Structure 1
């Protein structure tokens, strides 16, 4: 019995050491990724081609009055979206799987014929919503928010938020599915940021970067200052 107990202790110790080694490797990968991003961010602007998506979006982020300084781009493999969230987290050097976010374009299918575009931020035909991959988006909360935003002057029947068809999303944003970002869109679509993202610690999250294999990491306060999104609680776990 003593030998069996001793063997069990040894197994637990070995498993603990292996777990610590895996965590150390993950931390080292994140550090190396951040160092690489920092080196790229320090390159003079002429080293980045403005004809590329990364160059164009970098120029946009830096040129605004509320210029963004803390951001980085990362290329990912073609099969990135076949990976589990943990693997995506590691290759991006994200703080957690909850820091991985996506941008989706919504269309108000019940908007009257007179509302066809995004000129009225409070009552737009389209909205782009940013939510975590680990959260469940709730379109009803967006509907209620927009109804309240308009002080109840527009009937609730005139709000019905649904996922826009891919071809509509691509036409409005200029980006393909899985590459959608709210930076540098063809159309100035009002942005809604899920409140859960604002509460993330650390305050640096990842989203689409304009191409399917390009991801953008950005400091949350700077993103908010630049994009000026509506911030609402529109998701659940």
Structure 2
């Protein structure tokens, strides 16, 4: 029986081939891993782009909703206080303050309300009431005509007695007598109507950020208050807004008339 001798050169060649094959296999494996890493990197970048895109859209929606007149329709993540604060700042109002009050606030005396808010006096405590012209013709259904609107919001002191007749006379004169006095009959709007046009429920009505751009009438007595910082509803029953009178006037641009008595 013959035995084939393996020469050193043949053995070396076989070892070299095996090493070469292993090296090539490792290189291929490394190339595959590198390609996998590139794919993963691209996927991560794509996910990041999508997340940034979604975040940008959310921010845009939040900003646009805060500029809408209806706070009630704003993004759910924005609080009433935050939304109204943004509206005020966007309109150059700087001197304002929000305060939460207890749920039984409206059962308190005016003196107790003054104290919890830190108001200067009970005369600085005011409210916003919605009036509807019940005798307006069928063609007048909204607030597009500031001088002859279906609705008006009147801001008066809690200590004062509101006089609707003075508002009627003012609006009649404002229209230079061209509209019959019979077409003016200002009455307190029902709660459901008030909520529908303002976006705020009873005791939470404010003339900032209303659902409808309702003309505002400010009682002259409030303008004469010292210091010139008064309190009114803040958009929620337990939220109150204190604001500098002059800045309120500059932003809201209300009609200022004497529409109350003590």
Task: Report the count of equivalent residues.
Answer: 187
Partner Cα separation in structure 2 for residue 184 and residue 123 of structure 1? 21
**CA shift digits 1:216-235 (9 cap, x unpaired):** 00000000000000000000
- Cross-structure match for 1:78: 103
Q: Given the superposition, is the C-alpha separation of residues 137 and 215 from structure 1 closer, same or farther in structure 2, using an over 3 Å criterion?
A: same
- Cross-structure match for 1:63: 90
Which TM-score applies when normalising by structure 2? 0.71
User: Where in structure 1 do 4 or more consecutive aligned residues deviate above 2 Å?
Assistant: none
Does residue 155 of structure 1 match 2:175? no
- Cross-structure match for 1:222: 247
Partner Cα separation in structure 1 for residue 198 and residue 245 of structure 2? 21
**CA shift digits 1:171-194 (9 cap, x unpaired):** 000001000000000000000000
Considering only CA atoms, is the larger Rg found in Structure 1 or Structure 2? 2
Partner Cα separation in structure 2 for residue 173 and residue 114 of structure 1? 21
Partner Cα separation in structure 2 for residue 87 and residue 206 of structure 1? 14
Q: Structure 1 residue 93: deviation in Å?
A: 0.2
Which TM-score applies when normalising by structure 1? 0.78
- Cross-structure match for 1:107: 132
Does residue 198 of structure 1 match 2:223? yes
Partner Cα separation in structure 2 for residue 126 and residue 142 of structure 1? 12
- Secondary structure of 2:131's aligned partner: strand
Q: Structure 1 residue 50: deviation in Å?
A: 6.7
- Secondary structure of 2:87's aligned partner: helix
Gaps of 5+ in 2: 1-75
Partner Cα separation in structure 2 for residue 82 and residue 50 of structure 1? 31
- Secondary structure of 1:89's aligned partner: helix
What pairs up with 1:121-200 in 2 under 5 angstroms?
121-200=146-225
- Secondary structure of 1:98's aligned partner: helix
Partner Cα separation in structure 2 for residue 228 and residue 116 of structure 1? 22
Does residue 211 of structure 1 match 2:211? no
Does residue 97 of structure 1 match 2:122? yes
Partner Cα separation in structure 1 for residue 228 and residue 135 of structure 2? 36
**CA shift digits 1:192-214 (9 cap, x unpaired):** 00000000000000000000000
Gaps of 5+ in 1: 1-48
Maintained 8 Å contact 1:166/1:177: yes
Maintained 8 Å contact 1:50/1:59: no
